[in-house]
Amino acid sequence: MFIKNTIRYFFCLFLVSMILSACSSQSSSVQNSSQPNSKPMPAGKGVTWHLVVIGDSSLWGLGKAMAKQIEADQGVKVEVYDAANGGLSAGSVRYALETGNSESYSLKGLMDALRDAEYVIMFVNPLDSMLPDKPLDLENCFSTNKATACGLDRFANYVNDLEFIWKKIIELRVGQPTILRATDIYNPILVYWQKYGTTKECTTCWENMSAAARQAAANLGIPFLSRYDDFNGSLHRDNPRQKGFIRDDGEHPTDLANEHTAQLLAAMGYNATIP
């Protein structure tokens, strides 16, 4: 049951091979790629920010924590559009933004929310971005087997989908000052890998996952926060459960984890990513 419930939430991502070695040696959880001439956002009493969170269940609760953080830091009122839905994929979000048909993905009103959004945070999975002739062998990372098909070539379409979504968000904002933040997913099941001897292979899958989300963001100048690097440590050997970051269900973030993530995002600053 754990495997079936979790496969919709946790994934691997892709990175262009020419920069793989650079990403594999990253020591920082933050990639600050905002434009050097970006300006501070409007702030203070009487100002309202609209926060949009687009993600799978690994972002459950982050909207509330981030709204509280922004209000404390900027003195503004924050209204949240929370599109953190279990199993939400990049493919389904792209479909909703391309067609305007968002009913089946619990994304009703997403386009309107993005038009109004001063702050957008996103992580969505690659489950609907896989090419039929290059299936992903991620399920083995939720069982006793070693992953054998997590190659970089299997995630190119996922990166394309992520870039499409970010570009659509930028288009909907039509040059209005907006903070964009990309993130990846932590690994809550390290203990299973250690138990079944699959840590090496599945860590590679997770690292490729993080690298893909990072690459899609970098291509568009969007600052990136790696929850994987932070929750699991720079070597990805830490168990986030021991830090109090994972609920008793073994998968989802605690209030402490969300508050911590909000603090990390706040530390990245509040300058507009666009224009």
| Per-residue pLDDT at 105 | 62
Whether residue 182 is contained in a domain is answered as yes
Do 23 and 209 meet the contact criterion of CB atoms below 8 Å apart? no
Q: What are phi and psi of 104, to 5 degrees?
A: -75, -10
41-70 per-position pLDDT tens digit = 888 888 999 999 999 999 999 999 999 999
**57-61-62 Cα angle (round to 5):** 95
Whether residue 23 is contained in a domain is answered as no
Mean pLDDT over each residue of the chain, to the nearest integer: 84
Omega cis (within 30) before 275: yes
Judged by DSSP in three states, 55 sits in strand
223-269 per-position pLDDT tens digit = 999 999 999 999 999 999 999 999 999 899 999 999 999 999 999 99
Which whole number is the average pLDDT over 101-128? 88
Show the tokens assigned to 17: 């091979």
Whether residue 54 is contained in a domain is answered as yes
Whether residue 253 is contained in a domain is answered as yes
- Biggest CA-to-CA distance, the chain: 56
Domain containing 237 — which CATH number? 3.40.50.1110
Q: How many domains does the chain have?
A: 1
Whether residue 105 is contained in a domain is answered as yes
* Model pTM score: 0.85
Do 138 and 11 meet the contact criterion of CB atoms below 8 Å apart? yes
Strand order in the sheet with 179-183: 30-31, 224-225, 179-183, 119-123, 48-55, 77-84
Domain residue limits at 154: 41-134+149-186+210-267
User: Residues 105-119, buried b or exposed e (16+ Cβ, 10 A)?
Assistant: bebeebeebbeebbb
**78-168-150 Cα angle (round to 5):** 100
**Residues 244/248/254/256 CA torsion (nearest 10 deg):** -30
Residue 88 has pLDDT above 60, yes or no: yes
Whether residue 229 is contained in a domain is answered as yes
Residue 7 has pLDDT above 70, yes or no: no
Whether residue 17 is contained in a domain is answered as no
Cα–Cα dist 48/118, whole Å? 9
Whether residue 66 is contained in a domain is answered as yes
